[in-house]
Amino acid sequence: MKKLLLSLVLSCICTLMVHPLFAQKKRSPMYKAALGIQTYTFRRSLPTSVEATLDTIKMMGFTEVEGGGGKMPPEEFRKLCEARGISIPSTGTSYEQLVKDPQQVANTAKALGATFVMCAWIPHKSGNFNIEDAKKAVTDFNAAGKVLKENGITFCYHIHGYEFWPYENGTLLDYIINNTDKEYVSFEMDVLWTQFGGGDPVKLLKKYGDRWKLIHLKDLRKGVKKDRTGGTSKENDVALGTGEIDIKGIIREANKIGIKHFLTEDESRKIEIQVPQSIAYLKSLKY
């Protein structure tokens, strides 16, 4: 009889454990996008050997890159990427080239197979980005962005932290976003530079929604003194999840917006250690 009772008790316990009310809810992954990387991460090896660098990128598990092959013709770089199952959703250009010949910028992007072009710097006097710089950028971005759109390319300005100087009831970044034509100008958030310049990445994603199209995933060493210069030691780049930036909150909000391309970037000299750590962190994130 005791054996029978014990058997019944164990049976009841097992039944309860598989009941929906008691079963542990399976958590879904938060990071669902393809793994992407900014080629600037490999700036020390890419000029020496494009193919070997792409082999490393593939080995790490990345299937998207933002950038190009340096002096290598864009068509050739694209072929090397495609042979490794890597696509190029986005590439970069300088402000000067964007203003001088936006059609050539579009041609290069199309040769790479990219649908986004980003510009990461507005020329200005160091430490003194001002409203005149912002107004000129608005005019130039609207004009170049129109040419790029006519070629099927979306232009994104990559913010760099110096745009957070106060202006009227907000910042110069607010001025740029509110005065550029949303048909021609979108934005790429570099979360490290956003935080370093005094912005809140999650709040800005919520505030401007689908004006954001691309994200650079980076983390900032805890306790770093911040300013609006747009520059800090490259060794202040740390593996995702080990610094002070709310990477999880950023990805959660970006998913709500519908951002499809996240480009990990690490400017430090420890990429062979930190990039794999960043990948593992992204894969560990759950809802």
**Domain parsing of the chain, residue ranges:** 36-284
| Residue type at 209 in one-letter notation | G
Six token digits for residue 250: 């950023």
Minimal CA–CA distance to 240: which of 228, 251, 255? 251
The dihedral over CA atoms of 150, 72, 93, 239, expressed in degrees to the nearest 10, equals 120
SS3 182: coil
pLDDT at position 24: 57
Integer CA distances (angstroms), 154 to 85, 109, 224, in order: 23, 10, 34
Which fold, 36-284? TIM Barrel (3.20.20)
pLDDT at position 6: 41
* pLDDT higher than 60, residue 20: no
Minimal CA–CA distance to 209: which of 186, 180, 231? 186
pLDDT-derived band at 149 (thresholds 50, 70, 90) equals very high
- DSSP letters, 214-261, are EEEE-EE-TT----SSS---GGGEE-TTSSSS-HHHHHHHHHHHT--E
Integer CA distances (angstroms), 147 to 4, 103, 179, in order: 81, 7, 18
Question: At which residue do the structure tokens 């956003």 appear?
Answer: 194
Average pLDDT over residues 265-277: 98
Average pLDDT over residues 45-50: 95
User: Which stretches of the chain are assigned E, i.e. beta strand?
Assistant: 36-38, 64-66, 87-93, 116-119, 154-158, 166-167, 170-171, 186-190, 212-217, 219-220, 237-238, 261-264
Integer CA distances (angstroms), 44 to 36, 230, 231, in order: 18, 21, 19
* pLDDT higher than 90, residue 281: yes
Average pLDDT over residues 121-125: 97
pLDDT at position 26: 82
pLDDT-derived band at 48 (thresholds 50, 70, 90) equals very high
The neighbour count for residue 140, using CB atoms within 10 Å, is 17
Q: What is the pLDDT of residues 180-189, one digit of tens each?
A: 999 999 999 9
pLDDT-derived band at 7 (thresholds 50, 70, 90) equals very low
The alpha-carbon radius of gyration of the chain (Å, integer) is 23
Minimal CA–CA distance to 65: which of 191, 19, 55? 55
Q: What is the mean pLDDT of the chain?
A: 93
pLDDT at position 2: 43
Average pLDDT over residues 272-286: 98
* pLDDT higher than 80, residue 107: yes
